[in-house]
Structure 1
Amino acid sequence: MSATDQENKHTAPDARARLRPGEPSEALDWLGSPVDCATCAWREGIRAQGLCKPMVACVHDRYAKRIERFLDTNPEASDAVLAHPYFEVRAIATKHASIFRLPALLNDPDPEVRAGAVMRLPARQGMRLRTDPDRKVRVAVAARLTGPDLVPLSTDDDYYVRMVVARRLPHDMLPLMMHDPEAEVRRAVARRIGEEWLMAMAWDVDPLVRLDVARRLSAQQLAVLIEDPDMRVRHAVAERIDPRHLSALAADDDPLVAEMARDRLQRLDREADGTVAAAAPPATGIVLAVDASRPGNGGSPDA
């Protein structure tokens, strides 16, 4: 590695991060004792090079941001702290540690550490944590898995895990989640499900789900939602529905829906008038063209 590369790799923390408002004004370790640089294992290396700084970037500080700055600046130190007693150190170290050291952390007692390991390891190594007791670990697993491997998480007890699954599950598997008990999950499904299944969600009990459906249905299919009980859905229908159905919406009980339908009808009428006018050339132009093509005796050119 060249001297320039070495310089780019290690940027002194005090040059890019300083004590910010809201950060602790003291340097305490995870047990609440003052941080002592004199006893630090990196005092003759990292510390001597100015690559750490108390209250800014320090792996011994209990404040997570300072630990993060230290390991971001000195990623090669990550492997050495994977067994640190403070979970924040282990969790942050998973971002930079050798991937070959991470499988053991899938058994770490802290969920932050397990989730961090899942996010870096090959997806299949995290499959056994699909039933992890902590939601953040299962969310991490869902964010890494693909295809059929996601299906067991589609019925997870936690709605956000299912939300992540709904955003990642292949389109042809999304019908499995059409009837999820959480409306937000069904909305995620409605935004991605294949068109052949979309119509089946037009009768969902939640109006926001139906609204998402209305935004994707074709102009012809929107007719099924003309009488939807929610005006937001009917308004979305009026914006895009096949013009043949606009008359019914122009008489809608909600003034905004009716106005949208009438505006579209008027616009269509104006466009129709404009199209007819543009298609018919001026009469004088026709006469001049015919006159120019006639022989002097007034007969046709072929006469």
Structure 2
Amino acid sequence: MTDDAIDEAKTWLGEDIDCTSCVHQADLLPAGKCQLRRACVNDRYARRIDRFFNWNPKLANAYVAHEHFEVRAIAAKHADIFVLRGLLNDPEETVRWNAARRLPKRMILPLRNDPHREVRIRIVSLLEDAELTPMMADEDYYVRLVVARRVAPPLLSRMVDDPEAEVRKVVAQRLPTEWLLCMVNDASPAVRLEVAQRLAPDLLSALLEDPDWRVRYEVASRISPSQVSQLIDDDDDFVREVARSRSRAGGQLAREMPL
């Protein structure tokens, strides 16, 4: 059910809304700039508050210190830039984020250490490379994950030893290929598989003895034919099959090559 379909008009404190006692009843109400159950700054439903400010954006400055956090958060979307900096210290994370997304980057850098992970996650989308470097060591693995997805690939070398396998997997997907060899001994098979899928065929020999059959299968599928013979007696059926198939194909090609 949408807010507009709810047949009630309650404040955020649960009290009935009384238009006769509202400061806007003399100017906005007669002009159709606010409407009970549809566009009201006193309503507890966010959509109605949002519509109020869409209709009356110039009033947003007056509401950035409102007691109800929904009002502050939505007012931050419309308020003048010069009143937003104070909201970066608001006790509610939604307010801090809505202020941050409209402020210059130099002002929002302190939010890299925001106590709420959702704010830090969102801040990543507003920053670039060098600004993100301190967040590579964030205590929350998902913050580090989004950093690994966004930061420039050459900077990812600082994250190859991240304690979380999911983060290292993203690093392996984006790290410049010339640096991938430093991850061939990663503790996670999923990470090593990503490495195997990206390494040049002539470098795959580093993974010939990998303990995970999926990694060896990838190696057998892509390594040069002259080296694939080392996997024709592999313990895994799938690895042996692809290795023998490629070995036979390589031998046949060699026989057909003109002298």
Per-residue displacement from partner, 1:242-282 (whole Å, max 9, x unpaired)? 23333333433223333444555567688x59x98xx9xxx
CA shift, 1:49, in A, is: 5.8
TM-score by structure 1 length? 0.71
Contact 1:111-1:134 within 8 A present in 2 as well: yes
User: Structure 1, unaligned stretches of length 5 or more?
Assistant: 1-18, 280-303
Q: 1:113 — aligned with what?
A: 95
Letter in 2 for 1:225: L
Residue 246 of structure 1 is matched in structure 2 by 228
Cα pair 1:220 1:241 within 8 Å, conserved: yes
Once the two structures are superposed, residues 21-67 of structure 1 have per-residue CA deviations (whole angstroms, 9 ceiling, x without a partner) of: 9x866432211112334444445665556565554554323233443
1:82 maps to: 64
- Where does residue 257 of structure 1 map in the other structure? 239
Letter in 1 for 2:90: D
Q: Which residue of 1 aligns with 2:73?
A: 91
Where in structure 1 do 4 or more consecutive aligned residues deviate above 6 Å?
266-270
CA distance in 1 between counterparts of 2:225 and 2:38 reads 64
Percent identity of equivalent pairs: 47
Counterpart in the other structure of 2:208: 226
Question: Distance in 1 between the 2:46 and 2:204 partners?
Answer: 52
Structure 2 equivalent of residue 166 of structure 1: 148
User: What is the CA deviation profile of residues 56-102 of structure 1, one whole-angstrom value per residue up to 9, with x for unaligned ones?
Assistant: 55432323344334445554443332122111221233233322321
Map 1:184-195 → 2, pairs under 5 A: 184-195=166-177
**Aligned alpha-carbon RMSD (Å):** 3.2
After superposition, give the CA deviation of every residue in 1:166-205 in whole Å (9 maximum; x if it has no partner): 2222322211111111111111211222222211011110
The answer on 1:123 being equivalent to 2:125 is no
Q: TM-score, normalised by structure 2?
A: 0.82
Query: Separation in 2 of the partners of 1:44 and 1:220?
Result: 79
Is the radius of gyration larger for structure 1 or structure 2?
A: 1
- 2: CA distance between counterparts of 1:267 and 1:50? 79
Q: Supply the AA of the counterpart residue of 1:162.
A: R
Instruction: Count matched residues.
Output: 257
Verify: 1:198 aligned to 2:186, yes or no. no
**Alpha-carbon distance in structure 2 between the residues aligned to 1:244 and 1:62:** 71
Match of 2:12 among 27, 30, 38: 30
Q: Corresponding residue for 1:11?
A: none
Q: Which is further off, 222-231 or 205-214?
A: 222-231
1:157 aligns with 2:139: yes
Residue segments in structure 2 that go unaligned for 5+ positions in a row = none
Give the aligned residue type for 1:117: A
Contact 1:91 1:112 in 2 (8 A): yes
